[in-house]
């Protein structure tokens, strides 16, 4: 009896990784936060011009220096291939902007009393983007920001009583924020895993683990197959297990399910990583073959057919029976659509059934 093992393939193809998934959802939020921050930094220049004319040049310089990291970050997040660097850029450029903004408020004597509020803007931004960051990254950047903040408070604010009253409260807020951000990230990771599992369930057959119809169509779309731009040799093979109703009637549906499951494993064992298998319903499977050439695609289909002929299925009570398959095979050719090639393969499968089963009907040898 042939021992059939499942092929090692990525069960979550077509679903983004964690960072890509979160970036897709949070980058629009980041754009809003950064845009509002820039409006705030630049917009208050008009007020500063009239309120602090003697310090305006220094204020202008510090506001521009605080805005530049945010402008750079806004530009960087527009690039799709840069998403994996966004967490580091967001924290590092945000911290740089924070330092200049802190210096701005320390420069103007009248603003020193509101220095305690400066971290609030950046803390809210970090909380909004929490799912993107690793715990270690958050702890390092919060520690650096914390040290800079307290160093400025004790050395540049003359009213130490104010510092003593307010800064401990800000410390509690920062600690609470770190804990909240870590919890938000944990929740985001759980949500991602749930979404990933739901995506898998919607695209795969639960019995065999192979793609279902929805999953196969999504995979074809993702890889741009069967379009006018497709030049690589691609073939379709519709495979149906012979006399499957007889197996169900004689041995029961549990045995029938095992036959279907192990049939899928047998097929996948003979496919390269480029080809794909889908269970199209009942005991019928669709193979999209990308083995390198039309000849290799046909060889692969014939090899699968031969392995079915050699396979003996053994039940728990010791009964042994053979399982054969019929295959309709077609090499896809332009200008045919996927639907047309699929119908041709399906018609060839019915021909194989009508002519005695346990055979492959090749549309290009008729």
The structural domains of the chain, ordered by start, are 18-201 (no CATH), 213-362 (3.30.70.270)
Determine the Cα–Cα distance for residues 331 and 81; give it in Å rounded to an integer: 35
Determine the Cα–Cα distance for residues 37 and 11; give it in Å rounded to an integer: 41
Q: What is the pLDDT of residues 141-192, one digit of tens each?
A: 878 877 877 777 666 666 666 666 666 777 777 778 778 888 888 899 999 9
What are the tokens at 182? Answer: 């870590």
DSSP category for residue 69: H
From the list 301, 281, 283, the residue with the least C-alpha distance to 234 is 301
Q: Indicate if the pLDDT at residue 325 is higher than 90.
A: yes
CB-facing half-sphere around the CA of 18: CA atoms within 13 A: 16
35-54 mean pLDDT = 87
Q: What is the pLDDT of residues 91-106, one digit of tens each?
A: 889 888 888 888 887 7
Q: What is the pLDDT of residues 2-41, one digit of tens each?
A: 443 433 344 456 688 888 888 888 888 888 988 988 898 8
Determine the Cα–Cα distance for residues 336 and 343; give it in Å rounded to an integer: 11
């Amino acid at each position: 009896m042939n021992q059939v093992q499942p092929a090692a393939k990525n069960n979550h193809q077509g679903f983004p990784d964690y960072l890509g998934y979160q970036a897709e959802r949070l980058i629009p939020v980041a754009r809003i936060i950064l845009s509002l921050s820039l409006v705030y930094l630049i917009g208050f220049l008009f007020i500063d011009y009239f309120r602090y004319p003697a310090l305006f040049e220094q204020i202008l310089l510090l506001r521009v220096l605080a805005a530049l990291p945010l402008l750079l970050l806004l530009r960087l997040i527009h690039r799709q291939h840069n998403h994996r660097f966004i967490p580091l850029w967001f924290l590092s450029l945000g911290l740089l902007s924070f330092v200049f903004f802190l210096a701005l408020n320390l420069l103007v004597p009248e603003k020193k009393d509101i220095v305690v509020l400066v971290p609030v803007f950046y803390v809210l931004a970090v909380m909004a983007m929490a799912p993107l960051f690793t715990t270690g990254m958050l702890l390092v950047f919060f520690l650096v920001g914390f040290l800079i903040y307290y160093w400025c408070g004790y050395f540049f604010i003359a009213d130490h009583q104010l510092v003593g009253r307010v800064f401990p409260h800000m410390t509690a807020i920062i600690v609470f924020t770190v804990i909240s951000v870590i919890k938000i990230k944990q929740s985001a990771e759980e949500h991602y895993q749930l979404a990933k599992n739901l995506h898998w369930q919607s695209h795969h057959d639960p019995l065999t683990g192979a793609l279902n119809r929805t999953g196969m169509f999504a995979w074809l779309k993702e890889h741009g197959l069967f379009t006018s731009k497709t030049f690589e040799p691609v073939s379709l093979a519709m495979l149906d297990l012979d006399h499957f109703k007889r197996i169900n009637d004689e041995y029961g549906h549990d045995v029938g399910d095992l036959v279907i499951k192990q049939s899928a494993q047998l097929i996948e064992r003979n496919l390269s990583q480029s080809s794909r298998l889908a269970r199209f319903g009942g005991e019928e499977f669709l193979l999209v073959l990308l083995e390198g050439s039309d000849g290799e695609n046909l060889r692969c289909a014939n090899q699968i057919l031969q392995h079915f002929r050699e396979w003996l299925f053994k039940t728990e009570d010791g009964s042994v029976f053979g399982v054969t398959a019929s295959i309709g095979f077609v090499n896809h050719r332009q200008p045919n659509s996927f639907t047309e090639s699929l119908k041709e393969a399906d018609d060839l499968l019915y021909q194989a059934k009508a002519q005695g089963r346990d055979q492959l009907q090749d549309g290009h040898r008729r």
